Amino acid sequence: MPVHLEQRDWNGRSLHGKVALVTSGAGAIGSAVVAQLVAAGVRVVAVDQARAPDPATIGVNYLRGDVAHPVTAPRAVATAEAAFGGLDLLVNAASGSHAGGLAEVDLTCWNRVLAVNLTSALLACQAAVPAMRRRAGGVIVNLGPVRAIDAPGQRLAYDVSMDAVVALSRHLGPALEPLGIEVHCVLPDAIPSGGASPDKDIAAAVVELLAGGARRAAATRPDRAPA
C-alpha cells in the first residue's frame, strides 16, 4: 500500500525548490511530468536514451542513458546532488512494450521489457533512497500499466512487468515509511482525462502526489490495482 505520512513537512507542501529525478524524461508522459515540475519550481534531472530537447529547458539537467543499466541511476542521483544539492522526488516513468502472447514472445524481448519496466524502477529506487535519507525524506511515484484495447495477453511482457511495478510499489511503501519516504503508484487508466491531453492529466496526478495531495489517492493506490 502507499504511504501517506503524517509528517506535516510533506503533506501539501509546496514543491518549489525541490529536486526530482524523472526516468524517461523525454518520453510522452515523462516530459509532461518534467514540464509540470519545472512550472512548480522543481529542479529536475531527466534520464532518457533520447537526446535532450534543443534548447534544453531551464532548470532541467538531461542525462542520456539506458535506465536498465545498473550505472545509470547512480549517475543520475549523483548528478542531482552535484548540480542541485540533493534529491527529494523520484518519478519512474520509463516503460517499453513488445507484441506477443505466450506462444510468440521472444526471450530477448521479454528480458528487455522486464528490464526497462521493472528492473529500472528497482535500480532507481535503490539509488534514490540513500539520497532522500540525506534530505530526511522524499516521495517516489511509479507509473503503473496502461491496459491495451486489444485481446488480453497480447502484450504479455508489458502486462506482467507493469503489474510487477504495482507489486513493487506495494511492498516498498511500508518498508520505506520509517525512513520518511512515501511510495505511490499511479494507474494511468484510473486518471480522469479531459480527452485533449491524457499525458498531461497523468502528469498532473503524479505531481499532485509528489506534493502530498490526496484527492486522487483512491485512483492511484497500488493495493486497489485491477486483478
State the pLDDT at residue 73. 98
Amino acid at 105: V
Domain span at residue 100?
19-224
| Rama region for 195: left / alpha / beta (φ>0; ψ in -120 to 50; rest) | left
State the pLDDT at residue 215. 36
What CATH code is carried by the domain that includes residue 173?
3.40.50.720
State the pLDDT at residue 153. 66
Closest CA to 128 of 169, 80, 168, 186: 80
Which residues of the chain have a pLDDT value below 50? 1-11, 214-227
Domain count for the chain: 1
State the pLDDT at residue 64. 94
In a domain, 156, yes or no: yes
**pTM: predicted TM-score of the whole model, two decimal places:** 0.86
Question: Which H/E stretch holds residue 22?
Answer: strand 19-23
State the pLDDT at residue 195. 67
In a domain, 14, yes or no: no
In a domain, 112, yes or no: yes
CA-based end-to-end distance of the chain: 15
In a domain, 64, yes or no: yes
Cell of 22: 524523472
In a domain, 34, yes or no: yes
How are beta strands 181-186 and 43-48 bridged, if at all?
Answer: unpaired
Query: Tell me: the pLDDT tens digits for 47-77?
Result: 999 887 767 778 899 999 999 999 999 999 9
CA-angle at 96, arms to 210 and 114, nearest 5°: 95
Which residue reads 491524457 in cell numbers?
Answer: 198
* Side-chain-facing half-sphere of 177: CA atoms under 13 Å: 13
